[in-house]
Structure 1
Amino acid sequence: MGTFGKRLKEARKIRGFSQERLGIEAGIEPATASARMSQYEKGVHQPGESIVKQIAAVLNLPVPYFYCEDDETAHLLQCFHLLKGKERKDVVDLVERLALGG
C-alpha cells in the first residue's frame, strides 16, 4: 500500500465510511464503487485527478493530504484546511515567525 492508499483508508475509516459509500458519494458508479475504492487503497490502481478531488471533497480534506509521506505534515494540512480567512493568515504568520526564528 502506498502513501495515497494509506491516507485514503485512514481518512475513510475515521469518518465512518464504507468503501462503497465513499465511492458512491465521490461519483463512482455504484456497481463498482467498493471494488474501485479497495483497489485505490491497496495501490492496485491510482485514481485520476478528478476522482481524487471528489474523494477529498467528500472527506473534507485537501488533495495534498493524500500524498504526504509524513504524518505531521498530513495532520497540519488537515487542520489548516478547516481554517478560514484570518485564522489561515494567523497560522501562516506564526509558522513564518517560528521558521525564521523571530
Structure 2
Amino acid sequence: MQSPLPIRLKNARKLANMTQEQLSTKLGFDRSHGTARISQYETGKHAPDYSMAKRMADVLGVPVAYLFCDDEALADMILAAGQLM
C-alpha cells in the first residue's frame, strides 16, 4: 500500500495557497534545494520523518494526522476538526 502522504501534502499546500518554493522557504530549507525536496515528498520519491511532517503540517495549518490518513472521508473529517481548534 502506498503512503497517502504525497497526495495529502500536495492538497494541504494547495489549500494553503502556497507554492512548493513558499513552503520550503517557510520551513527554512536552503533555497537551492528546498523546492526539489518538497517536490520529492509530493511525488513519493522520498518521505519525511515524523518531525518534518509535523513541521510541514504546522506551516500548512493542518493536523499532522491529515497527512497520514489513508481514508478520504476520514481525512476530510480530520481537516474539518482541525479547523475548529
Correspondence for 1:41: 42
Question: Would you say the 8 A contact 2:20–2:35 is kept in 1?
Answer: yes
**What one-letter code is carried by the residue in structure 2 that aligns with 1:22?**
L
Query: What secondary structure is seen at the aligned counterpart in 2 of 1:7?
Result: helix
Give, as a single letter, the amino acid of the residue that structure 1 aligns with 2:40.
Q
Q: Higher relative contact order by CA 8 Å / sep ≥ 6: 1 or 2?
A: 2
Provide the C-alpha distance between the structure 2 equivalents of 1:20 and 1:49, rounded to a whole number of angstroms.
21
Q: Which residue of 2 aligns with 1:24?
A: 25
Q: How does 1:1-102 map to 2 (within 5 A)?
A: 2-84=3-85
Identity over the aligned pairs, expressed in percent? 37
Amino acid aligned to 2:25 = I
Structure 2 residue runs without a partner (length 5+):
none
> d(CA) in 2 for partners of 1:28 and 1:49?
17
Q: Deviations over 1:38-82 (max 9, x none)?
A: 000000000122211111011111111011111111111111112
Contact 1:3 1:66 in 2 (8 A): yes
Gaps of 5+ in 1: 85-102
Using the TM superposition, give the Cα deviation of residue 33 of structure 1 relative to its aligned residue in structure 2, in angstroms: 1.0
Q: Is the 8 A contact 2:3 2:70 kept in 1?
A: no
1:29 CA displacement: 1.9
Give the partner amino acid of 1:49: Y
Q: RMSD value over aligned CA atoms? A: 1.4
User: How many pairs does the alignment contain?
Assistant: 84
Q: Which has the larger radius of gyration?
A: 1
Please give the TM-score of this superposition, normalised by the length of structure 1.
0.75
